[in-house]
A and B are shown apart, each in its own frame.
Chain A
Amino acid sequence: MRKFENISYMPLRPKGSTFDKRVGTMDWVIFAILFLYALIIIYPFYNALLISISPERIYLNTPFLLYPKEITMDNYATVFSSTMLWSGVKITLILLFLGTAYQLFFTVITGYALSRNKWVGKNFVMNMILVTMFFGGGLIPYFFLIKNLGLYNTLWVMIIPGAIDTYNMLLMRNYFASLPPDLEESAKIDGANDIQIFFKVYLPMSLPMLATIGLFFAVGNWNSWYNGMLFVETQSLKPLQLVLREMITTSASSVETLGQKATYSEGLTMASVFFSIVPMMCFYPFLQKFFVKGLVVGAIKG
């Protein structure tokens, strides 16, 4: 084996490239910068993990907690035994599956319809939708609406009002518009109607894009709390993020009540935070390409 005098001249020959691509000082600088950047991204997670597995006294008495001096799983035991958190998880999982499927269906058919040329009233509908991106009635009439539709304090209030996400719908529309139009024409010649064409021709072609949008919705549902805060009273109907929010903002604040307010230690809060991030952390590396794809289609071709 050859011994390298100076590592920065180590030749690196990627397959298929006939050019001499040397790893120069610049490469090391870039490597170092990006390495540091990645560390900055990772550190808060690491810190949260560290606090969550350290006993409170270690955390409070150690100004620089860089590695676990002593490991306790107490916080996680509390998290896993907390009915409040599990009921949050349950609700969030329902939102995740039911909500995502529901949103996906309506968003995709709308996106498809708007991507087709020449149908009566298309411009009208399009403008009608765009206006809503800027003008809304505000919370008060929305509250009336939710009450009158009978959605208040139900699970549905976190699902039904989210049927169509305008931004993702437009993404979908751009995607369908970018597919070759002759497919549609040849299907039409075969006598298929628009709905058949959509389901038989375009939908199968767009599965990767569907996955992308579906994932966006899934993340949105996993992170949702606002509607829950406003329209849900019952503790057992609150989604995970709302439960977490209550834990984060309640942690050891100086409020006068009579013994009924639970207080959460930093360790417990961080354990819950970590608990809610972990599923995403596990899936994300494998799903990343779908997310990226969606963003690229939406932004460049749109």
Chain B
Amino acid sequence: MKKVLLIILALSIALSCAVGFAACNRNKDDESVITIRNLYFNDWNGEDDYTAMLEEMFDTKFKVSSYSWADWSTQVSSSWQSNSLPNVFQDDIDSYNFANTYLAYVEDGSVKALPDDLSPWPNVKKLVESVADIKHFKVDGKLYGIPVAKNINGNVAEFTPFTYVYRRDWAKELKEQGKLNIEVDDDYTWTEFTALLKAFYDNKCQSGNVYALADVEWGFPSIINFYKDAPHCFTYNSTKTEVVSNYATDNYVNGLKQAKAWVENGYYGYDQFRSNDGDANKVYYGGRIGVFYENLSLTNYTTLRKNIQETSTRRLSKEELDDKTAIMKVSGPDGKYALEGQEDWFSMTFFSSKISDEKMEKILSIMDYLLSEEGTLFGLYGVEGHDYEKVEITADSIQGDDEYSDYNYVWKDGVGIKLLSWTKSEGTNQYVNPYNGARYLRYMCTLGYDIIDKDPLTDTSAYPILKDWEDFMLAQQEAGNLRILKEPAEVKWLSTPTKADRAGGVLEAANKSVQDYLYNSGYTLDQYKNEVSKGTWETMLGEINRALGLK
């Protein structure tokens, strides 16, 4: 029996080695087809008249599929590791694995470097240059991917709209009843904010099922934003002149103490754990949260409003809906507004190293076209004369009340867009998506925030509210009154072996320590500080500081 086993093992190794060589993947790339796998579309598979027009224009064929939302990471990773990447693919980045993954792609030669000179593709060049941190991604002077920016026109601040949405109707109601003595105008000082929470807590939360303040489930209390110096793990301490653990700084601890105080007095009613994606959202839809911290991107905000409408017993008027989903502007104890900072981009479009230079140039030309004015019009509205026409507009007609009389969108000064073939769905009064491939392929370059106000698919009732908030925050930024939490790019994109392997782990561990401190009375502050600054932290910080030449 043992003999047989040995023979088998010997045989299997011989066999597998022999066949292993034969089985090595040596797929030839098909020059005439561009295979693309994107992160940003679901039900579009690359077959429509508009895509066919693009294909004809560039004398190519697209083979498109998207990663599935639930398993995209596995799918990107398995196609990379099995050496069968599509020609063009996207990978999400975050500062905790990206430097690692990006460098791994580059190191093993799986991705193709962009040409040194991007000037034949001015729009792509502009896109790459619009991303401030891009220099940190150059390896030996070469760049290996195109950042998928949200916006390339620079009219959106460098942050994702993480902010508070709240029940203005409750505030108004309590104000009327004389139970709240602040002005209900969405712009609150820290004192007013606290008063609002107290009023909500005293009058709305007594059933035990309603919460004054809640965060979406990311595990770090949002109110610490008004105290802390950096978004996540690391921050630069100017007195010590070195990078230290953000979680152990005095500012962070002060914020944490405030959060704990509010957990204890009941304001922070809803637990921060990521128990189930979207759990807190559902509680908000159910009318059981007063102030809710969320990532209010246009999609999320639109979804939130849609769900509030759907979960309500009757059709809400626009005013009522706005009251239930008002966006709040809060300034912290130091009088500054705070934003969880993030880059203008979080994904990159990569090219497989298997493709030829010619093919890459063709793809770049397609991207360049889609970013150009002509391509953007094509992706947004379709074919001129069939789907839309340009109309002349004057300054008067722009300012006039009757905004949509002659044209639907302002393209630029003097030029309006009048939609022709577009239809609206009866129920929602929103334009129906005509599945224009150019629209989706454009996501290879930008997520479309640059054209959001011109996009017929944008929810016209939600967008102005977000826009108003955004303008307000930009104004505060200019006035020096905004606390944007950003990690220095040198630290954020720094790749050292320890950071690459461990940073995600310490983030999770810190998350847990924060939770323990907030909810567990037996857990002391010293214990907390130890856990977020000793052990692995010391090794990592040591290496980071050495790499940056600080120690």
Contact = CB atoms under 8 A, between A and B. Distances in A.
Interface centre among B12, B45, B69, B447 (most CB of A within 10 A): B69
A295 B294 CA distance: 50
Interface stretch (A2-10, A12-20, A245-253, A276-284): A245-253
B277 A254 contact: yes
Interface string B29-41: 0000000010111
A143 B84 contact: yes
Contacts of B209: 63
Given A141-B23, A257-B447, 4 more contacts: A57-B310, A140-B82, A147-B25, A256-B160
Contacts of B5: 127, 131
B4 interface: yes
A56 interface: yes
Contacts of B7: 124
Interface string A238-273: 100010011011111111111111110110000000
Contacts of B27: 147
Given A57-B310, A229-B68, A252 B281 contact: yes
B488 interface: no
Given A147-B27, A147-B84, A60 B78 contact: no
Interface stretch (B102-110, B126-134, B300-308, B329-337): B300-308
B69 A246 contact: yes
A144 interface: yes
Given A127-B4, A230-B75, A259-B298, A253 B312 contact: no
Interface in B17-75: 20, 23-25, 27, 37, 39-45, 65, 68-71, 74-75
Interface in A156-181: none
A258 B443 contact: yes
Nearest to B313: A57
Contact of A261 (B69, B457, B458): B69
Contact of B310 (A56, A141, A253): A56
Contacts of A233: 37, 65
A204 interface: no
A234 B297 contact: no
A84 interface: yes
A117 interface: no
A254 B43 contact: no
B295 interface: yes
Given A249-B70, A252-B281, A143 B300 contact: no
Q: Majority SS of interface residues in chain A?
A: helix
B69 A250 contact: yes
- The 3 A-B pairs with the shortest beta carbon distances in the complex, nearest first, are A60-B286, A252-B278, A143-B82
A235 B45 contact: yes
B118 interface: no
Interface string A93-124: 00000000000000000000000000000011
Contacts of B449: 258
B45 A234 contact: yes
B287 A137 contact: no
A124 B8 contact: yes
A56 B307 CA distance: 9
B155 interface: no
B216 interface: yes
B376 to A, nearest CB: 14
6 contacts: A57-B286, A61-B286, A144-B83, A246-B68, A258-B298, A259-B302
Interface residues of B, number: 66
A252 B282 CA distance: 8
Contacts of B78: 139-140, 143, 230
B344 to A, nearest CB: 12
Interface string B289-332: 00000110111101100010011110000000000000000000
A254 B82 contact: no
Contacts, number: 146
B68 A131 contact: no
Given A144-B23, A252-B278, A262-B43, A246 B300 contact: no
Contact of A60 (B79, B81, B282, B448): B282
Contacts of A229: 68, 70-71, 74-75
B16 interface: yes
A245 B287 CA distance: 28
Interface in B492-542: none
Interface centre among A63, A259, A262 (most CB of B within 10 A): A259
Contacts of B287: 60-61
Nearest to A74: B310
B285 interface: yes
B9 interface: yes
A152 B65 CA distance: 13
A131 B8 contact: yes
Nearest to A251: B278
Contacts of A246: 68-70
Contacts of A287: none
A81 interface: no
Nearest to B37: A233
A77 interface: no
Contacts of A124: 4, 7-8
A145 interface: yes
A82 B136 CA distance: 45
Given A254-B277, A258-B443, A259-B298, A147 B82 contact: yes
A262 B277 contact: no
Contacts of B79: 143
Contacts of B295: 254, 256
Contacts of B281: 252, 254
A127 B12 CA distance: 12
Nearest to B70: A249
B74 A259 contact: no
Given A60-B282, A131-B9, A230-B74, A256 B43 contact: no
B448 A258 contact: yes
